[in-house]
Amino acid sequence: MEKDSVGELEIPVDSYYGVHSLRAKINFPITTQQLDPDFIVSLAQVKKATALANHKLGLLPEEKTKAIVGAADEIIAGQFHDSFIVDPIQGGAGTSSNMNVNEVITNRAIEILGGVKGDFSVIHPNDDVNKGQSTNDVYPTAGKLTMLKKIPLLEAELERLMDIFEVKAEEFKDILKLGRTQLSDAVPITLGQEFHAYYSVTKRNLRRLKDVRKEMEAINLGGTAIGTGITAHPELSATVLPILNMITDENLDITDDLVDGTQNIEQYVVLSDVLKSIAISLSKISNDIRLLSSGPNSGIGEIKIPARQNGSSIMPGKINPVIPEVMTQCSFVVMGNNAIIGAAAEAGQLELNAFEPVVFYKLIESFQVLTNGIGTFIDHCIAGIEANEEKCFDNLERSTYLATVLSETVGYTKAAEIAQISLETGRTIRDIAESEGIKVKSQESVRASIR
């Protein structure tokens, strides 16, 4: 049995969590999911760093410090993650997850010292593991560290996507096709130019993601409850920072205003906005690919995408663009999460925002669906796209694009007249113009004139 201020609970003898964690598990059966492994590691890294800092400041004995650091290192290495039982979405601004890591480290550290789990006279979860800390500086610091762990994974997939778009742009650079505005026939473009535009927007989004790292590097560790540093050594922030940077191999800094750093979480909105921008671009590209590959007989059909699975339980032979469809759905998730994150950031009051748990949960989900979605988009769709050159040629010839080209020589009014005849009769612009003795550029000449 373990006791807290609410009462007593029976804790399984083989468990490393304690009464606070179990009570939170009972209170918050929300997602039925576990805290993200990177978040668990980040919490342990913060606890390790603060233990070392407190020892350096003369506040934590060497024996306790070594045991706490040893337990934290085991968690960082992936052990005891099954003891993190608190739901990611929780009331209390993350207190339950902070106590979860305090309890697991404490019980394991007690074992390291030869004691029995639950004997807090050896090491105490609040007095020792949480010394000089509050949930309100530990939890957001660990949350930012988690985001810094997720960013490189997404960057790597964006770089892969950018590279494959560049490859396709080169592969398709000489294939002239019809450009379209507002889903209506417009003027010629090369298929390579379309894919190069996808490369460019991906490159721009990758730059935004790299730039937003700095928003996650400013932490409020040492500010404790509301940023005033109550219960913490006045030198804790300065002492713990280089230790935490060494442990995490990050370039963190203490925020200039710890009260502001505890009250306001708009930096997560900035990060989420970048993820939303990536999602919007990917959804647009996915929809383009669905349109350009539509058919195979009665659609645009200017590109061919890999067939991944049967498309219908009733229509034999039907193949659907399932990979662009799933990429679009991933984008929907990110856009929806962005709205939740914005609402949560706005909902804070006075000295603290209590809604960081849902912010971190949704940011982690956004990173996950984007990173995984882009991976399958590359491997199962983009890399295997082929041009349907015959369809590109036919669609271009049957369009009214040559009217625009003719307007340079015969004027807008005459070109419009020819275009109207084409629409009414089904004859091509080229056929009508040549029948009237008007010289028309070949597709090769048009392609040569495109920048």
> Active-site residues: which are they?
312
CA atoms within 13 A on the CB side of 269: 12
374 by DSSP, 3-state: which?
helix
Task: Yes or no: say if 449 and 443 are a contact pair by the CB < 8 Å rule.
Answer: no
451 by DSSP, 3-state: which?
coil
Pick from 77, 94, 75, 98: which is nearest to 18 by CA? 98
Structure tokens at 442: 């070949």
Task: Yes or no: say if 136 and 223 are a contact pair by the CB < 8 Å rule.
Answer: yes
Task: Yes or no: say if 57 and 239 are a contact pair by the CB < 8 Å rule.
Answer: yes
With a CB cutoff of 8 Å and minimum separation 6, the contacts of 382 are: 161, 164, 165, 168
With a CB cutoff of 8 Å and minimum separation 6, the contacts of 314 are: none
Q: Alpha-carbon distance 4 to 19, whole Å?
A: 7
Q: Alpha-carbon distance 162 to 313, whole Å?
A: 35
Within 236-351, residue ranges assigned H as helices are 236-248, 258-263, 266-292, 322-346
Q: Residue 9 phi/psi, 5° resolution?
A: -135, 150
CB atoms within 10 A of CB 129: 28
Task: Yes or no: say if 330 and 323 are a contact pair by the CB < 8 Å rule.
Answer: no
Give me the DSSP letters along 402-419: HHHHHHHHH-HHHHHHHH
Buried b or exposed e, range 390-417, using 16+ CB within 10 angstroms: ebbbebbebbbbbbbbbbeebeeebbee
405-410 contacts: CB < 8 A, separation 24 or more? 405/440, 405/441, 405/446, 406/433, 406/438, 406/440, 409/438, 409/439, 410/438
